[in-house]
Amino acid sequence: MQTCKKNRSLLIEILIALAFVGGALFASTAAYADAENDALIDEGRIIYDETAGGVGCAACHGLLATGDPDAGAPYIRGAGKSEVDAALDGAVPMMGFIELNKQERKAIVAYLGYLTYAEEVLLDPEVAAGKVLFEETAGGVGCQECHGIDAQGDIGPNIVGKETADIYEQLLDNPAMGFIKLTRVEVDSVAAYLNYLHDLETH
């Protein structure tokens, strides 16, 4: 009887410890990291980037769902099930050619939710400063002028994930970029932003 009680209290202790570890893990890896959700996000990313309607939602809404004024397609990060369903089921005639089943829609919504995590990372001052330099101010035009929206490439190549050293090399040696003057801190910020774009793509 005695041992049985002892065992039981040991068992309870183990359970409490496990719950504690589980809780800590959950807290540290945030809501997006559980395996099932991860798989769903990956599925949604492929549909979003490439397969929806044979072109991907990205064709109109932009690779990171921030919208594309030229296509008249709005920012849709964080759009919920009802908004996605409405848009696909007739509210947006331009999207009429896209057919997605229930599972695919669920995956898309998970992915759009994941992209809102992008907003939180942007609260990091270094990344936020890098975004402004990238999009608008570096050299008076922004890197985006030549490297395209979300650094996907335009006149200049795709530079997602490029690091401080890569940027310095170009600022010194690349005649096309010679007019851009940046401080060390600014180069670090731009690199932080390019790294952020890389994380978003690969999560």
Q: Which residues bind ligand HEC (CB under 6 A)?
A: 52-53, 55, 57, 59-61, 71-74, 76, 79, 83-84, 87, 92, 94-95, 98, 100, 108, 138-139, 141, 143, 145-147, 155-157, 159, 162, 166-167, 170, 174, 176-177, 180, 190
Q: Quick one: 14 or 165, whose CB is closer to ligand HEC?
A: 165
**To the nearest whole angstrom, how small is the minimum distance from the Cβ of residue 49 to ligand HEC?**
10
Q: Quick one: 76 or 117, whose CB is closer to ligand HEC?
A: 76
Q: Quick one: 25 or 55, whose CB is closer to ligand HEC?
A: 55
- Measured CA angle at 61 (ends 138, 90), to 5 deg: 160
Q: Quick one: 54 or 120, whose CB is closer to ligand HEC?
A: 54
**Cβ count near 148 (within 10 Å):** 17
**To the nearest whole angstrom, how small is the minimum distance from the Cβ of residue 19 to ligand HEC?**
37
**To the nearest whole angstrom, how small is the minimum distance from the Cβ of residue 182 to ligand HEC?**
6
Q: Quick one: 7 or 98, whose CB is closer to ligand HEC?
A: 98
Q: Quick one: 117 or 138, whose CB is closer to ligand HEC?
A: 138
**To the nearest whole angstrom, how small is the minimum distance from the Cβ of residue 156 to ligand HEC?**
3
DSSP the chain: -HHHHHHHHHHHHHHHHHHHHHHHHHHHH-GGGSHHHHHHHHHHHHIIIIIGGGT-THHHH-TTSS-BGGGTBPP-TT--HHHHHHIIIII-GGGTT----HHHHHHHHHHHHHHHHHHHHTTSHHHHHHHHIIIIIGGGT-THHHH-GGG--SSSPP-TT--HHHHHHHHHH-GGGTT----HHHHHHHHHHHHHHHHHHH-
**To the nearest whole angstrom, how small is the minimum distance from the Cβ of residue 36 to ligand HEC?**
21
**To the nearest whole angstrom, how small is the minimum distance from the Cβ of residue 103 to ligand HEC?**
13
**Cβ count near 176 (within 10 Å):** 10
